[in-house]
């Protein structure tokens, strides 16, 4: 493999690591005769995710880290003095195919700095995807980062070759985006989002009439917001996420804790470390909205604009609404079971299925997978030894659960020290 290309790859892969909005879920493109690759696990290939949520089986790279913009929060801003590189379309296509043949990857996540103008950059991204599909018959997963401000024609063409398209919102409020990135605005972000949505819907209608009509971005779209770089509350962030999820094609909103990469810029907060706990709580709240039937106003509101960093959002909601508890797990409907701390989607379904045959008690629930150290304070069932939240008060339950959590962390830390010794 060409050493010059590998040096470029090293630079551009490093530049791409701050974008967390890549995941290869949401599409099925199986292996076909005469084509190379697939998007589903098989033949020893599986999708594996790192701790920060990135899919590690994708080649995650930028086409170039040159950029005409000077966004305060971006490592690749034009005023930064850092190694720069640009891959040609053919170099990136050959690199992807070479890595796939070596079984290093199963797909491509491709983004880019903006050079010349959005359409010029977007056209090169589309050419990479088109060459992979049409010239090399590559049938693996492709995620393209659509460039804000790109034309509808180029976004529509990208959707014919990519499994997923994404456009990053970055900063939830327009005024804060203008503060940190004066050359950008939300209009240029939301326009390609609408193009993607329209393309998916039109493709869906076309496929109802013609079975073999081409699919447009079958894995939908995603976006990313930076957490902690500006003054937005969790309420601001989650209300925007909720609005985006109401669109039929938005699959994921990613939350990226702000990393102080440009410490010299006084517009940015001086953070010693990224707000990872807050980022995690936002993902948990996001999960509640998407899978647990919570409305955003139940999680955050004007009187409670920020998530509790000490406890998860579902437990926080339960402690703020003790009148909803205790819940009889042998009688409650599925929707109410989902609201019990310690009960997940899978365990709620198992409870509904199992209680038809016999009453469930403490040990049956634990065997099903319910986290009883939380749930025991919010339920009634056969042979439950603990007092409920109303008998103990929400403050007492909170203190007890926080103490247990802290004790577990101390025990794990001690175990690690003992192992190292």
Average pLDDT value for residue range 116-126: 95
Backbone angles phi, psi at 396, to 5 degrees: -65, -40
User: To 5 degrees, how large is the angle CA 101–CA 104–CA 105?
Assistant: 90
Q: Is the pLDDT of residue 127 over 90?
A: yes
Q: Are 258 and 202 in contact (CB under 8 A)?
A: no
Distance of CA 418 to the CA centre of its chain: 35
Q: Where are the alpha helices (DSSP H) in 275-355?
A: 276-291, 296-299, 313-320, 334-337, 345-354
Confidence of residue 32 (pLDDT cuts 50, 70, 90): low
Q: What is the mean pLDDT of the chain?
A: 86
Spatial CB neighbours of 187, under 8 Å, sequence gap ≥ 6? none
For β-strands 250-257 and 327-328, DSSP reports them as unpaired
Q: Are 309 and 282 in contact (CB under 8 A)?
A: no
Q: In which residue are the tokens 């393209």 written?
A: 144
* Encoded tokens for 412: 């794990």
> Domains in the chain, start-ordered, CATH in brackets?
3-297 (3.20.20.70), 313-420 (no CATH)
Question: What pTM, to 2 d.p., does this model score?
Answer: 0.85
C-alpha Rg value of the chain to the nearest Å: 24
Does an H or E element contain 240, and which? helix 234-245
DSSP state of 360: -
pLDDT of residue 20: 66
Other CB atoms within a 10 A radius of the CB of residue 254 amount to 26
* Of 63, 46, 53, 64, the residue nearest 105 (C-alpha): 46
Q: Are 183 and 70 in contact (CB under 8 A)?
A: yes
pLDDT of residue 197: 93
**Residues in a beta bridge with 145:** 166
pLDDT of residue 190: 93
**Least reliable range by pLDDT among 4-18, 182-196, 312-326:** 4-18
pLDDT of residue 161: 95
Average pLDDT value for residue range 37-56: 43
Average pLDDT value for residue range 357-372: 92
Q: Is the pLDDT of residue 353 over 50?
A: yes
Prior bond of 230 cis (ω within 30°): no
**Least reliable range by pLDDT among 50-64, 124-138, 242-256, 378-392:** 50-64
Q: Which residues of 164-178 are buried (b: 16+ CB within 10 A; e: fewer)?
A: bbbbbbbbbeeebbe
**Residues in a beta bridge with 107:** 58, 141
Average pLDDT value for residue range 167-190: 93
Residues 241 and 91: their CA atoms lie apart, in Å, by 37
CA distances from 414 to 403, 404, 407, 421 (A): 16, 15, 10, 10
pLDDT of residue 42: 34
**Least reliable range by pLDDT among 51-65, 88-102, 225-239:** 51-65
Highest mean pLDDT: which of 108-122, 204-218, 261-275? Answer: 108-122
Residue 243, exposed/middle/buried by CB under 10 A (0-12, 13-18, 19+)?
Answer: exposed
């Amino acid at each position: 493999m060409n050493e010059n290309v590998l040096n470029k790859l090293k630079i551009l892969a490093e530049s791409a690591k701050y974008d967390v909005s890549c995941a290869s879920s949401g599409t099925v493109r199986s292996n076909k005769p005469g084509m190379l690759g697939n998007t589903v696990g098989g033949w020893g290939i599986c999708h594996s995710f790192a701790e920060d949520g990135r899919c590690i089986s994708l080649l995650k790279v930028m086409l170039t880290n040159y950029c005409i913009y000077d966004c305060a929060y971006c490592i690749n801003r034009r005023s930064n003095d850092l190694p720069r590189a640009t891959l040609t379309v053919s170099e990136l296509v050959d690199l992807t195919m070479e890595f796939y043949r070596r079984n290093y990857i199963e797909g491509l996540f491709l983004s880019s700095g903006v050079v010349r103008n959005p359409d010029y950059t977007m056209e090169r991204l589309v050419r990479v995807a088109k060459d992979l599909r049409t010239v090399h018959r590559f049938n693996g997963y492709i995620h393209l980062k659509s460039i804000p401000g790109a034309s509808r024609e180029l976004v529509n063409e990208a959707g014919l070759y990519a499994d997923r398209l994404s456009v990053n919102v970055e900063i939830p409020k327009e005024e804060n985006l203008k503060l940190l990135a004066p050359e950008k605005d939300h209009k240029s972000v939301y326009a390609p989002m609408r193009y993607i949505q329209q393309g998916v819907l039109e493709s869906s209608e076309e496929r109802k009439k013609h079975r073999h009509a081409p699919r447009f971005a079958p894995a939908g779209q995603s976006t990313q917001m930076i957490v902690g770089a500006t003054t937005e509350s969790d309420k601001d962030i989650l209300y925007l996420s909720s609005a985006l999820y109401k669109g039929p094609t938005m699959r994921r909103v990613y939350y990226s804790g702000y990393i102080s990469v440009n410490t010299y810029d006084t517009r940015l907060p001086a953070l010693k470390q990224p707000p990872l706990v807050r980022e995690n709580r936002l993902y948990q709240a996001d999960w509640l909205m998407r899978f647990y039937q919570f409305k955003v106003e139940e999680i955050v509101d004007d009187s409670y604009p920020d998530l509790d960093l000490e406890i998860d959002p579902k437990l926080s909601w339960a402690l703020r609404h003790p009148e909803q508890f205790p819940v009889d797990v042998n009688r409650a409907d599925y929707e109410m079971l989902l609201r019990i701390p310690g009960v997940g989607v899978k365990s709620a379904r198992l409870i509904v299925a199992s209680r038809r045959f016999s009453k469930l008690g403490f040990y049956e629930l634990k065997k099903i997978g319910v986290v009883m150290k939380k749930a025991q304070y919010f339920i009634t069932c056969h042979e439950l030894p603990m007092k409920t939240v109303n008998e103990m008060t929400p403050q007492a339950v909170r203190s007890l659960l926080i103490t247990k959590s802290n004790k577990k962390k101390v025990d794990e830390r001690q175990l690690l020290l003992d192992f190292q010794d």
